[in-house]
Structure 1
Amino acid sequence: MACGGFMSAPVCFIENDEKGQLCVRKEAKDILDGLNEPVVVVSVVGLYRTGKSYLMNRLAGQQSGFALGSTIESKTKGIWMWCVPHPYKEGHTLVLLDTEGLGDVRKGDEKHDTWIFCLAVLLSSSLVYNSLGVIDNTALEKLHYVTELTENIRVKAKVGQHEDKSADFMCVFPSFVWAVRDFTLELKIGNEPITSDEYLESALTLKSGCSPQTEQYNLPRRCLRHFFAVRKCFVLPRPASPQNMRRMEELTEKDLESEFLEQANTFCCYIFDSADPKTVSGGRVITGTALGNLAEVYIEAIRSGKIPCLENAVVSLAKIQNVRAVEEALQFYMTEMLSMAQLPMRPEELSDIHKIAEKKAVEVFISMSFNDNDQIYQQELMAKIYDEYQQMCQQNQEESIKQCKAVLREVFDTLEKGVFDGSFLRSGGYRQYRDMLRHLTNDYRARTHSQIMSEEVLSKFLKEKEDIGNMILQADQSLSEAEQEKEVQRLKNEILEQRQRGLEEQNRLQKRAFKDMQRTHKEHVNQIIRQMEKEQLRMRRDNERVLEAKLREKDALLRKGLQEQASQMQRQIDRLRSEMHKEEKSKPSIVSRIMDGIGATAELILPGFVSRGLSAVSK
């Protein structure tokens, strides 16, 4: 079904289980789990048998896929999903959700339809409402599901008494596209031609007055105006003759009406160009993996009889996503290190490989992580990566020690044999031993100059040979007592000098560890700040979009003479501007907190890193 992360045909995403309760189908969840890039989610909703599936097939670039049907029976059950490469946005996946037709009297479960509509709103970045004929009062009354959104969805877990709920909904709800099918009227008001968008806005004009009839008339219109900041309308004529309509899947483009094709292509181009990646509160873009988890969180709330709450869903989603983000980023780091590092190697080379692998691993984490506001999970990843790195450094040292010891045994073999058979225990034997030791030491250094532990291995070897050298010195009768004392001191000095070389070698390793940690600290902070700036930019854009919609709404209310409602809208605008100002002012303190948190983690990690490196030496 899936090919290279994408699908050759749709699958059922959300269905009813054997108990009649909504559930996420495992096949669809597994497909989304494999999508670690941002998703643009387009859902289509509407009454059954209005041609929703055909529009979605057009968006997928296919003539068939989502079931069309040619009878009065609704073909789509639950919500079906089709993931395809986004035609305009590189590195994004277009997720198309075709929902079960609303209002099928044979289902007899109005609440089921309401939840399908709510899930489409909650999961999509662009919501397409598909209807037949015209936008009139009857059409808007059939869209009564939009009036029930506030009863079935909460944005915040706790809402203040004077908070503007509509602004919260506007920030997180998708853009709204009304596709009017089989449209036959002229787009005119009076004798003046209008656009399809003006046609929609005219249909959403509120009536003045406060009678129950007026309130009933205004309710769906007010909900659309208050919940969806971006509204768009397309009117599409009948695509083919009544006879051909029954076999739409078989028709080629040449069999379709040219005007329909033109409007359908304009509709698709608008969706491709304008539908944003799916985000949740805080401007956080979600991936396919997160979308699947989000659907499960919402459905779990519905199954338990609770009202889905976006704020709570974000908290639940954050834990699921961040645990997985740490696991996958760490696994990526380990795989990269094992594939590139050929031990033993110079510390600088291993450090460079670590730098590349860590940067990519942090990018993997950032792409998958979610709402890690206090950097708890990123600090956990930082500690785990450094734990793996120090183990790799320790293995590098141990491999170097093995190779140095092998070279040492080979180089000093003749010296060891001479000591074993007593060749140096004679007059003049000490000078021969000393000269051979010096010569072989130079040979060993020449052969191990690229190994990081060569001086430490040599230091330990020479220390072990101190007593043997003194014994050979005492046995050499050709040396005077003064010469022997001088040689004893020289041996001690050479051993001390060699020990100093070993310590300098360890000092270089420690400096490398500090340098790596400083770079790691900087990389983690930079990645977080870059991500935070992207999210703040998206959040600011969302707030500005809501602000513009509120200002347009206020002007429309004033034009209709609804002064009291316009004043209420102005108060909402003032509160929104105040919140945007607070968010802008909080940015420096957030950056400072990030640096403090990552810095504290670095201070905790580094002593352990250095001490573990030194323990490898002592072994």
Structure 2
Amino acid sequence: MSGGPPSMSAPVCLIENTDRGLQAVDSSLKLLRDIQQPVVVVAVVGLYRTGKSYLMNRLAGQQSGFALGSTIESKTKGIWMWCVPHPSKPDHTLVLLDTEGLGDVDKGDSKNDAWIFCLGVLLSSTLVYNSRGTIDNQALEKLHYVTELTNQIRTKSEVTRDEDGEEVPQDTQFVQYFPGFVWAVRDFTLDKKIDGRDVSDDEYLDHFALQLKKGLTQKVLEYNLPRQCIRSFFPTRKCFTFPFPTSSDKMKCLDSMPESQLEPDFRQVADRFCTYVFSESRTKTVQGGHKVTGSRLSHLVKIYLDTISSGNVPCLENAVVAMAEIENQSAMTEGLRQYELGMQPLKAQFPTDLDKLSAEHRRLSDVATKEFLKRSFKDEGGKYMAQLTEKIGQLFDRLADENMQASEERCRKILSDLYATVAANIKNGAYAKSGGFKVYSDHRDAVVAQYRQHANKGMKGEEMLEVFLQEKSAEANSILMADTNLTDAEKKEKEAREQAAVQEQRIRAEEQRRQELQQALEEEKRAQEERVRCMEEKFAKEKRQQQEELQRALDSKLEEQRQMIEKGFKVEHGMLNLPLSNSASKFTSSGFGIVNLFSSFYSSSRIARRC
């Protein structure tokens, strides 16, 4: 399908991890730029040598592709990408991102790991965190990257405040823009029981692994920190516990092993995992609820990497603004290109009449506008829409001039061909005799009649006939004066008729120009009304998207609040001002402490009441 993913037999490197830092691969960005479909982006992150690549190959519907490796050495470097048609969302592209393994001791650069994790969050609509064994405190401590996100990412270029002037907590903002979170626990062997009761994977994650402890001591805050980050930042959470896929001695052959030889329980969980990701992963959106296409994703990659390489912190708001500038410029260029290409067949037929030119202009203006609106977003103030309208107007003016010139040349040729015999008679003196003026008048009137019947004269048909009669008036007057068969009175009468005929044609030409101008004004009015209607529809759609985005965030926060209250986390307002130890203050000032949790709950509640 046009605008869909290219045929990719294997993944390609999207972001290289070089000695100079993280850098985008131009050829991979080009692949993304050619994708005009909305994208669902699934990124997998996790410690190295935990089998991340296997899950991504399953999502791609392939047994191999992303490097699995069979040694303790990390195989994936940087971030690799595989674009495939989405298996359950028509006209969508599934973009799979396999990230470099975190915690590789050979790299010796924890900041590099933090940026890899950060990019996985920023670029994806579903983030899969892959780990081995069990979700215990050690596993949560290894996920310390999530606690650093407020140092790595900003949602706004300036502090966001609510209607009461209070700062909106970072986690309340993050949950609007962050991906869904899936924890894939590999080689899981424990019984999932809580208080002797069998529980589901999701219950194991939410009610056991991510359960918070009560209290405000330093030890409790340190324990709660990564758990609260996951709860606060990610709008949805899902867990899958995978048993061993096969015996340990066959693990190195996993990428070449037929699926039928894998353990049935493992295949069942893998199937459920893929089904969930395909059905529940949302289309990637950015601030404002705008859907991300492959082209827009390529800009995001470049913008984020440029920001990171400059030593600054990626800001979601600034990234969206920068991406909108690029995309709107591209959308305007594409709309103009569609108009220009569409006009080529008609241009080859010049000259043509105004009705045909105007109808095609109106049709192609609508095509260009729709193409622009399909690709553009966040065109605040209609800046790029106005530029597109202006450029189309300029192009139409040039085409109209070319059509006029072609019409003038065509009309002159028709008149010249029709008048050739009359011109030859004049040269030979055929009309220089008694009664010659009547013969000349009859021949000239026949030329005019034939000219009027001639098709495809274009928009200057009447005007060029006026010019023709004006040019021949001196010639006609000379033949008239030389005709001895006419009295002076008859000559004056016929001269007056000649002038009246020229004047009548001038009036007809002016009427044609007046009608053309009136038609052009009416066409422009209709086009402007249609553009306004389309823009209003788009703005209304974007507003709905923003409201839906905010509502999802509020629902997520309020659900967290409900669960916390059910578990007995009840806090009086005065507790928000309790003195904390230095270590505790460190966590709460970063926006992650348990006190901040309740602060954000109060903020969410105020917003909910206003809504």
Question: What is the TM-score with the length of structure 2 in the denominator?
Answer: 0.90
Q: Among residues 479, 482, 505, which one is paired with 1:475 in the alignment?
A: 482
Question: Could you tell me how far apart the structure 2 residues matched to 1:421 and 1:456 are?
Answer: 30
Give 1:401's aligned residue: 408
Q: Deviations over 1:232-284 (max 9, x none)?
A: 11222222222222111111221222222222122112212221222111111
Q: Deviations over 1:95-148 (max 9, x none)?
A: 111000111112111100000000110111111111112222221111111000
Q: Deviations over 1:279-338 (max 9, x none)?
A: 111111122122112111111111111111111222222222222222232223212221
Q: Deviations over 1:480-529 (max 9, x none)?
A: 23322221221122111111221222223223322332232133223323
Give 1:572's aligned residue: 603
State the 4+ residue runs in structure 1 displaced beyond 6 angstroms: none
Question: Could you tell me how far apart the structure 2 residues matched to 1:551 and 1:504 are?
Answer: 70
Identity of aligned residues (%): 44
- Structure 2 alignment gaps of length 5 or more: 161-165, 572-594
Give 1:195's aligned residue: 200
Q: Among residues 237, 242, 247, which one is paired with 2:248 in the alignment?
A: 242
- CA shift for structure 1 position 423: 1.9
- CA shift for structure 1 position 345: 2.4
Q: Among residues 167, 179, 186, which one is paired with 1:181 in the alignment?
A: 186
- CA shift for structure 1 position 578: 7.1
Q: CA 1:209 to 1:42, structure 2 compared with 1: closer, same or farther past 3 Å?
A: same
Conserved in 1, the CA contact under 8 Å of 2:351 and 2:456? Answer: no
What is the identity, as a one-letter code, of the residue corresponding to 1:99?
A: T
Question: Could you tell me how far apart the structure 1 residues matched to 2:82 and 2:325 are?
Answer: 27
Question: Could you tell me how far apart the structure 1 residues matched to 2:278 and 2:236 are?
Answer: 15
Equivalenced residues, count: 578
Q: Deviations over 1:13-57 (max 9, x none)?
A: 1113343x1111112112112222222111000111111101111
- CA shift for structure 1 position 63: 0.7
Q: Among residues 318, 323, 330, which one is paired with 2:329 in the alignment?
A: 323
Secondary structure, aligned partner of 1:65: coil
Secondary structure, aligned partner of 2:129: strand
Question: Could you tell me how far apart the structure 2 residues matched to 1:308 and 1:4 are?
Answer: 27
- The aligned runs of 1:294-373 (5 Å cut-off) are 294-339=300-345, 341=347, 342-373=349-380
User: Does structure 1 residue 98 correspond to structure 2 residue 98?
Assistant: yes
- CA shift for structure 1 position 439: 1.4
Secondary structure, aligned partner of 1:234: strand
Q: Deviations over 1:58-89 (max 9, x none)?
A: 11111111000111111000111111111222
What is the identity, as a one-letter code, of the residue corresponding to 2:226?
A: P
Secondary structure, aligned partner of 1:45: strand
Q: CA 1:382 to 1:116, structure 2 compared with 1: closer, same or farther past 3 Å?
A: same
Secondary structure, aligned partner of 2:45: strand
Conserved in 1, the CA contact under 8 Å of 2:168 and 2:600? Answer: no
414-423 or 354-363, which deviates more: 354-363
Question: Could you tell me how far apart the structure 1 residues matched to 2:421 and 2:106 are?
Answer: 97
User: Does structure 1 residue 287 correspond to structure 2 residue 314?
Assistant: no
Give 1:153's aligned residue: 153
- CA shift for structure 1 position 536: 2.2
Conserved in 1, the CA contact under 8 Å of 2:351 and 2:404? Answer: yes
Q: Deviations over 1:358-384 (max 9, x none)?
A: 333223322332421111111111111
Q: CA 1:4 to 1:117, structure 2 compared with 1: closer, same or farther past 3 Å?
A: closer
User: Does structure 1 residue 529 correspond to structure 2 residue 560?
Assistant: no
Q: Deviations over 1:545-568 (max 9, x none)?
A: 111111111112222332226863
- CA shift for structure 1 position 3: 10
Question: Could you tell me how far apart the structure 2 residues matched to 1:264 and 1:363 are?
Answer: 42
Give 1:35's aligned residue: 35
What is the identity, as a one-letter code, of the residue corresponding to 2:157?
A: A
What is the identity, as a one-letter code, of the residue corresponding to 1:68?
A: L
Q: CA 1:4 to 1:39, structure 2 compared with 1: closer, same or farther past 3 Å?
A: closer
Q: CA 1:399 to 1:311, structure 2 compared with 1: closer, same or farther past 3 Å?
A: same
Q: Among residues 224, 237, 253, which one is paired with 1:231 in the alignment?
A: 237
Give 2:258's aligned residue: 252
Question: Could you tell me how far apart the structure 1 residues matched to 2:505 and 2:515 are?
Answer: 16
- Structure 1 alignment gaps of length 5 or more: 582-619
Conserved in 2, the CA contact under 8 Å of 1:41 and 1:277? Answer: yes
Question: Could you tell me how far apart the structure 2 residues matched to 1:514 and 1:145 are?
Answer: 61
Conserved in 2, the CA contact under 8 Å of 1:38 and 1:277? Answer: yes
CA RMSD of the aligned region, Å? 2.0
Question: Could you tell me how far apart the structure 1 residues matched to 2:345 and 2:92 are?
Answer: 28
Secondary structure, aligned partner of 1:374: helix
Give 2:590's aligned residue: none
What is the identity, as a one-letter code, of the residue corresponding to 2:147?
A: T
Question: Could you tell me how far apart the structure 2 residues matched to 1:88 and 1:223 are?
Answer: 31
Secondary structure, aligned partner of 2:65: coil
Question: Could you tell me how far apart the structure 2 residues matched to 1:171 and 1:4 are?
Answer: 27
Secondary structure, aligned partner of 2:434: coil
User: Does structure 1 residue 464 correspond to structure 2 residue 465?
Assistant: no
Q: Among residues 284, 301, 313, which one is paired with 1:278 in the alignment?
A: 284
Secondary structure, aligned partner of 1:563: coil
Question: Could you tell me how far apart the structure 2 residues matched to 1:58 and 1:335 are?
Answer: 42
Give 2:563's aligned residue: 556
Q: Deviations over 1:164-204 (max 9, x none)?
A: 22121111111111111122233332343332222211121
Q: Deviations over 1:194-236 (max 9, x none)?
A: 3222221112121110111110111111111111111111222
Give 2:17's aligned residue: 16
49-58 or 132-141, which deviates more: 132-141
Conserved in 2, the CA contact under 8 Å of 1:6 and 1:85? Answer: no
Q: Among residues 548, 551, 562, which one is paired with 1:541 in the alignment?
A: 548
Q: Deviations over 1:358-417 (max 9, x none)?
A: 333223322332421111111111111111122112222222222222211111111112
Q: CA 1:3 to 1:497, structure 2 compared with 1: closer, same or farther past 3 Å?
A: closer
Secondary structure, aligned partner of 1:7: coil
Secondary structure, aligned partner of 1:531: helix
Question: Could you tell me how far apart the structure 1 residues matched to 2:478 and 2:18 are?
Answer: 88
What is the identity, as a one-letter code, of the residue corresponding to 2:194?
A: I
Question: Could you tell me how far apart the structure 2 residues matched to 1:64 and 1:329 are?
Answer: 40
Conserved in 2, the CA contact under 8 Å of 1:36 and 1:367? Answer: no
Conserved in 2, the CA contact under 8 Å of 1:280 and 1:286? Answer: yes
